[in-house]
Structure 1
Amino acid sequence: MNFFDTLQSATTQERQALFSVPVIRDALGGIVSLEGYIAFLTQAYHHVRHTVPLMMACGARLPSRLEWLRGAVCEYIEEEYGHEQWILNDIAACGGDAEQVRNSRPSLSIELMVAFLYDLIARDNPVGLFGMVNVLEGTSIALATQAAGSIQQGLGLPPTAFSYLSSHGALDQDHMATYRELMNRLDRPEDQEAVIHSAKVVYQLYTEMFRGLPRAHQPEVQHALA
């Protein structure tokens, strides 16, 4: 079995836990409240704005034996730069307060996820950052391809409110094809273990974030944006 498939197998339980969260099941069925969508975008902003800094930190700490991976990181940085602004634009198109979101704090799970990734790069194995890529891009593909259109129709929002989610459907599918190839080139057990460990941690924290989002049929559930 190649390493990409090993990674998927090793994280099956965590992935199933994420996609069993009620708000995720609702979203895949196209059922999302405006409050819930803005809450999702808010948390997305708080981790997406760290994507480029994390990739830069990762690239700087990769050993020379992984120069081929550093090159891929450079390409990824170029493609991801500025995507946090797309999210703020989407929030504004939904009628939300983009500046309030920019100046707010993330949920605890997202704050811990970002802190874990910085620490992983600085103190452990920078290759582990690719565990995050597996989780976040795989999830965004599912939401974009199966949910974005029906959510937009259900909420009556303009296409300008879905620039982040819709673009990441096609973009992340391309990324995942490249990602599979990159992961299959990792041949050291310590690098593979770092990716698996990171993916498991990120899955659990990302799942906690989704559990905190309000559901469309439960308006009494509140999600703090502060």
Structure 2
Amino acid sequence: AHVTDAPVIEAIREGRFDLTGYTWFLTQAYHHVKHTVPLMMACGGRLPERLEFVRKALVEYIEEEYGHHEWILNDLAACGEDKEAIRHGTPDTSIELMVAYLYDRINRGNPAAFFGMVQVLEGTSIELATPLGEAIQKQLGLPDEAFSYLYSHGALDQEHFEFFRNLMNEITDPDDQQAIIEAARMVYRLYGNMLHSIPLVSVPGPSNRKEQRHEAA
């Protein structure tokens, strides 16, 4: 429950969430989503021939996922942030470690470990992204243009996740399965650490609304 019990989830429901928290979260999302396609390419290049069916699926997945990091930068711009400053910035330690861990597992361990990240992030987004996005939008009064990432990775992503669940069911080698499980545990912990680090406000109130920041957007 390290992800689902993060204080930010209760804070959003209680109205204790402001623009600073949302843009901080989006910034961290950018810094891991921009690695999704490079990680898939690295994984695909190191998969053994017996997992050729997984490599084929990765080719399709890469086409679907390419460019999603730019959506997040556009969301940030709609919130009044300087997206180029964020593009060239650095992530929270938890995200830096999560990305580094996945590259390490692909290059130094079993490349199937990549799918541990897919399991955690896709599964979490289906459960939480849409309802929390709607609550945040209502609280902060932000335009739809500030929510392309959350809304696109929410309930509408269920078919996508089902595709990968079926793919994982076809991976039957115990070593591959164990690599995926271990990576999922690590990603769950590190992604959860990021969620626990999101800055929150102590009390709800109208001061949390930041309409002035996004009027120009």
TM-score (norm 2): 0.89
What corresponds to 1:139 in structure 2?
124
**5+ long unaligned stretches in structure 1:** 1-15, 220-226
Q: One-letter code of the match for 2:137? A: Q
C-alpha contact 1:137 1:176 (8 A) present in aligned 2: yes
Alignment check: 8 A CA contact 1:30 1:148 kept? no
196-205 or 97-106: which moved more?
97-106
Aligned position for 2:98: 113
Match of 1:88 in 2: 73
Paired with 1:145 and 1:136, the residues of 2 have a C-alpha distance of 14
- 1:193 is matched with 178
Residue 21 of structure 1, CA deviation:
1.3
Over 6 Å off, 4+ runs: none
Distance 1:162 1:185 in 2: 34
Unaligned 5+ runs, structure 2: 205-217
Letter in 2 for 1:189: P
Query: Aligned match of 1:156 in 138, 141, 144?
Result: 141
Residue deviations 1:112-145, cap 9 Å, x none? Answer: 1000000100010000100000111112222323
Percent of residue pairs identical: 59
Distance 2:162 2:33 in 1: 20
Matched to 2:126, the amino acid is I
Task: Return the offset for 1:31.
Answer: 5.0
Partner of 1:65: 50
Q: What is the number of residues matched between the two proteins?
A: 204
Compute the displacement of 1:29 (Å). Answer: 6.1
SS of match in other structure, 1:187: coil
Comparing 190-199 with 134-143, greater Cα deviation is found at 134-143
- Cα deviation for residue 212 of structure 1 reads 1.2
| 1:34 paired to 2:39 | no
Q: TM-score, normalised by structure 1?
A: 0.86
Distance of aligned partners of 1:26 and 1:141 in 2 relative to their CA distance in 1, 3 Å threshold: farther
Letter in structure 2 aligned against 1:52: V
The letter of the residue matching 1:77 is I
What residue is the counterpart of 1:128 in the other structure? 113
Tell me what 1:7 maps to. Answer: none
> Is 1:52–1:81's contact at 8 Å kept on the other side of the alignment?
yes
Cα contact 1:31–1:154 (8 A) shared by 2: no
Pair 1:79-2:64 in alignment:
yes
Q: Distance in 2 between matches of 1:61 and 1:29?
A: 46
Partner amino acid for 2:66?
Answer: Y
Quick one: which amino acid aligns to residue 89 of structure 1?
N
2:12 corresponds to 1:17: no
Q: Distance in 2 between matches of 1:29 and 1:172?
A: 26
Q: State the shift of 1:24 in Å.
A: 2.6
Change (3 A) 1:117 1:171: farther
The one-letter code sitting in structure 1 at the alignment partner of 2:69 is: E
Give CA-to-partner distance per residue, 1:189-218, whole Å, 9 cap, x none.
000000000000001111111111111336
Q: 1:205 aligned to 190, 205, 208, which one?
A: 190
Q: Structure 2 counterpart of 1:110, which letter?
A: I
* One-letter amino acid of the counterpart of residue 24, structure 1: I
